[in-house]
């Protein structure tokens, strides 16, 4: 159901509060540049440091600003199943087109626990759901067999796969077939995944290069791998620069250097310093973004 280049959009702050004006500008720019969907309140959106009221407001604001021009897939995951259900219910009420649900973090559930977690959400809220597997963040890897088991629940329609393993991505594709759209959670793996039959990405680099990200995915989906390879190789240095420090520190810094928002983050995240910021600025300049 969810395909293309979906941006894992940042959450701008100003003086400790949500900067709705900057968020609105970012959303308008993304849509004008051809982004296929907006994903607020994910990892890149600093969801871990948003209060529940802020979380709800970001989703409501994004849905209103987008105004049905592209899908909005709201981040609603939690390491508490009941909290994830409550956030997903709110996303549905706010008018989101779907919900992105990260695997529960810190408490390290078993594969059976993961299945029951997602089943409980799917049975509680009638909204298209995108699974989100990123073991480097959560310390739990949702295995392809568990993903395939979940696809028998009709509202589970997609997965953001960020395991870092192209073999695992391919296993998901083979086990799930057309029951699930598989999106890359790692910009460097978007093209390899699509060559195997994947359907796009929930992208960090799309925050700063939305048109190129969307064009790459569109080219690959049409079988134009010559253009897709060219764009992939052009974007890789930028992708690498955006992960010089923990995401979303570099991408928010990059957008600030581009003049699109402030670089304010919430502790324990802090601004880039010294050499890494210089490397990021050099990559942006080389790419023609500043």
What is the tens place of the pLDDT at every residue in 58-90? 999 999 999 999 999 999 999 999 999 999 999
Q: pLDDT at position 111, please?
A: 98
Active site residue 160: yes
Q: Is residue 99 part of a domain?
A: yes
- Domains held by the chain: number: 1
pLDDT at 273: 85
Distance from C-alpha of 157 to C-alpha of 163, rounded to nearest angstrom: 18
List pLDDT tens digits, range 217-242.
999 999 999 999 999 999 999 999 99
pTM: 0.95
Q: Is residue 150 part of a domain?
A: yes
Q: What is the pLDDT of residue 54?
A: 98
β-strands 37-39, 17-18 pairing: unpaired
Classify residue 197: in a domain, yes or no: yes
Considering 132, 277, 279, 285, which one is annotated as catalytic?
132
Residue 209 has what pLDDT?
98
Asked if 81 contacts 121 with a C-beta cutoff of 8 angstroms, the reply is yes
User: What are the phi and psi torsion angles at 54 (to 5°)?
Assistant: -65, -45
Average pLDDT over residues 1-12: 96
In-domain check, residue 17: yes
Residues 49-58 have pLDDT tens digits of 999 999 999 9
Active-site residue 285, yes or no?
no
Mean pLDDT score of the chain:
97
86 part of a folded domain: yes
pLDDT tens track for 157-213? 999 999 999 999 999 999 999 999 999 999 999 999 999 999 999 999 999 999 999
- C-alpha pair distances (Å), 114 with each of 32, 47, 145, 256: 38, 21, 11, 37
pLDDT band at residue 1 under the 50/70/90 scheme: confident
pLDDT attached to residue 278: 96
Answer yes or no: is 143 within a domain.
yes
182 located within any domain? yes
CATH code for the domain in which residue 78 is found: 3.20.20.70
- Residue 153's domain spans which residues? 4-222
- Say which of 3, 115, 160, 277 is annotated catalytic: 160
- pLDDT tens per residue, range 86-115: 999 999 999 999 999 999 999 999 999 999
In a domain, 195, yes or no: yes
Which of 66, 69, 74, 25 minimizes the C-alpha distance to 45?
A: 74
């Amino acid at each position: 159901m969810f395909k293309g280049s979906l941006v894992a959009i940042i959450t701008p702050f100003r003086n400790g509060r949500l900067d709705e004006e900057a968020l609105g500008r970012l959303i308008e720019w993304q849509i004008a540049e051809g982004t296929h969907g907006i994903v607020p309140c994910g990892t890149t959106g600093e969801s871990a440091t948003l209060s529940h009221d802020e979380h709800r407001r970001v989703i409501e604001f994004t849905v209103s600003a987008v105004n049905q021009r592209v899908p909005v897939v709201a981040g609603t995951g939690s390491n508490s199943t009941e909290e994830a259900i409550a956030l997903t219910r709110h996303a549905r009420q706010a008018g989101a087109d779907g919900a992105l649900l990260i695997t529960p973090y810190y408490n390290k559930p078993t594969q059976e626990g993961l299945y029951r977690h997602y089943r409980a959400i799917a049975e509680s809220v009638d909204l298209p759901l995108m699974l989100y597997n990123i073991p480097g963040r959560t310390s739990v890897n949702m295995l392809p067999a568990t993903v395939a088991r979940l696809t028998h629940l009709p509202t589970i329609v997609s997965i953001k796969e960020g395991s870092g393993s192209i073999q695992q991505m391919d296993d998901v594709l083979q086990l799930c077939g057309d029951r699930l759209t598989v999106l890359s959670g790692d910009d460097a793996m978007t093209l390899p995944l699509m060559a195997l039959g994947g359907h796009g990405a929930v992208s960090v680099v799309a925050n700063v290069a939305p048109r190129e990200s969307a064009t790459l995915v569109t080219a690959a989906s049409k079988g134009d791998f010559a253009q897709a390879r060219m764009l992939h190789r052009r974007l890789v240095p930028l992708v690498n620069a955006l992960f010089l420090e923990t995401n979303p520190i570099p991408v928010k810094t990059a957008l600030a250097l581009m003049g699109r928002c402030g670089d304010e983050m919430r502790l324990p995240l802090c601004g880039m310093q010294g050499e890494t910021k210089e490397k990021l600025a050099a990559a942006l300049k080389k790419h023609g973004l500043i």
